[in-house]
Chains A and B, each alone.
Chain A
């Protein structure tokens, strides 16, 4: 006589449903891997930066171009390389408008230059300053202060080091919202929830099985991304791996709760997809996935800090890159905010949950 256990059966069913779908495996593991590799290559520490600029065609322009060419030949790594293009005025401005060049140099005479650029474009002021410095030095400007450049290309301070914890956190968010929310709505549309509700199945076991399965899928999620970061990009894990795991679990529970809340009453895929995007989009933008959330104005910082992804990413980075411990103020604050999200979303979700 077999021994039947609803929680175990439900949990195993969830696992099977997942690993028997290779397409889903790709989206969950393959896609973030490809994304990380792509971004890692795009933002890898280059041996030397390349600075682009357009020079407007004029009789005096060739003087400037020659000066820069001379610099390019005599420069040593990691000083930047300049790539200049001589273009007609119209062409040069069109290229700047369409984002192909950050800077247009207009040479009025041997000692008169106008720089055209959009100061809000991050690389434009830097290009202007670099070219100006080369031209001024070549024209005989003395540098009264001796300066030395210490360049940070060590693991821990690079963009990829910032990116990997971001991708881990965003995968946790996606997994929680889609893995829980989409699944439940799918069951509801297929009348499977109603069919379950017509059995004596303990309802607690059903929801618990979904959560346990989610936490199980978290293991390969984190191992794949973290492993790739550590092996390919030498991303350091400065802090305690146990604290990292704890933060991930609490984060996963918070997103599973939000996923369940979104799915608790939704009757169609359109509704649930819309709600998912409504929840995820602000977090992709504001929570510091691809760049630091501190770039946003102070006024909206309290809102940004309240987003679960902000807290998850911040805590992951603090532990991985800076070695923060469990009792660090930031970590406790992050765990606290994530716990509040978990408790509140589950409470509301279960109260309003529709089985039909």
Chain B
């Protein structure tokens, strides 16, 4: 029946918390077809990891339906485990094992799979086969984690924040590995909070916030939904950003205005009309620019416009105020 690799209906997970029950996952639905690279995006604590761990069979849902490769965990756990590969966030492998030994150890758990060396070649770690795990860099350790996830030759691969904390070069290397896997038509579920990574790798993404999917579609779809295609960011000299943005809202082709602690961000339909209009407006009101940049709309902007918050803690800043569509509303605090 199913060409769905994953089917989730009304998934809920509750933890006992200090101030009553915490709903880590709160009625989440997902359909992921075979062969897709699917991204789960969201800030820390959105419920991405809990969701993925339930899909991986290492965490149990409070309620809801989960089917993985057409099977259920309650009845077919071993069969599912034979067919999936997993990387967790920050697994600490045995330091004193060599890369090859560790890959071979995990290979021994599966009935069928790759030769350990072949798995290492997929992630370009074959030259490190005889190195102790403790001597690997962060990026190499993550690639080893991917090799170990691949060694059972899985139909479905879960990569939970595989590039978090890596330097840009290691991140790019790992992204190339993932693109290589996509070329082999495997189903991949990727969680990340790097938007550009999701735009680059994923066929479709789900934006998760507070345990629910709040937006679903291809990165291009989601970006189109925001209206404009460009963002003009600027700050004024000697003047803190003000919540009253009506003066910018009325400028030519401006679709939305956001304010954060450092300045303003305009979503615009046509930068070549909006920017001259902005400059003229500042000229007539006698104010100077501190900075002015323009860029394409990203998934990050989608997330901010949906939730009023940034995805990563380090970008949180003060709570921004969103103006467009639903009118004004104070954003909830980050996290």
Contacts and interface: CB of A to CB of B under 8 A. Distances in A.
A356 B78 CA distance: 18
B92 A191 contact: yes
A13 B91 contact: no
Interface in B83-118: 84, 86, 88-94, 96-97, 101-102, 104-111, 115
Nearest to A189: B92
B57 interface: yes
Contact of B58 (A17, A201, A356): A356
A8 B109 CA distance: 11
Nearest to A7: B108
A189 B91 CA distance: 9
Contacts of A199: 81, 86, 106, 109-110, 152
Contact of A195 (B82, B91, B101, B132): B91
A90 B80 CA distance: 82
A73 interface: no
A190 B91 CA distance: 6
Contacts of B84: 198
Contact of B91 (A4, A6, A20, A192): A192
Contact of A200 (B59, B81, B89, B115): B81
Interface string B122-155: 0000000000100000000000000010001000
A195 B96 contact: no
A16 B108 CA distance: 17
Interface string A5-24: 11011101100110011000
B161 interface: no
B110 A200 contact: yes
Contacts of B107: 4
A298 to B, nearest CB: 47
B215 to A, nearest CB: 28
Contacts of B81: 198-200
Given A16-B101, A199-B152, A5 B108 contact: yes
At the interface, is chain B mostly helix, strand, loop or mixed? loop
Given A9-B105, A10-B105, A194 B96 contact: no
B73 to A, nearest CB: 11
Contact of A192 (B92, B101, B108, B115): B92
Nearest to B82: A200
Contact of A4 (B88, B92, B104, B148): B104
Given A199-B152, A356-B59, A4 B108 contact: yes
Contacts of B111: 200
Interface string A174-209: 000000000000000111101111111100000000
Output the residue of A5, A13, A17, A192 with the most chain B CB within 10 A. A13
A195 B160 CA distance: 12
A355 interface: yes
Nearest to A196: B109
Among A6, A191, A199, the most chain B Cβ lie within 10 Å of the Cβ of A199
Of the candidates B84, B107, B108, B148, the one having the most CB atoms from chain A within 10 angstroms of its own CB is B108
Nearest to B132: A20
A21 B97 CA distance: 11
Interface of B: 56-59, 78, 81-82, 84, 86, 88-94, 96-97, 101-102, 104-111, 115, 132, 148, 152
Given A194-B91, A198-B57, 10 more contacts: A4-B107, A6-B108, A192-B94, A194-B58, A194-B88, A195-B86, A198-B81, A198-B88, A199-B106, A200-B78
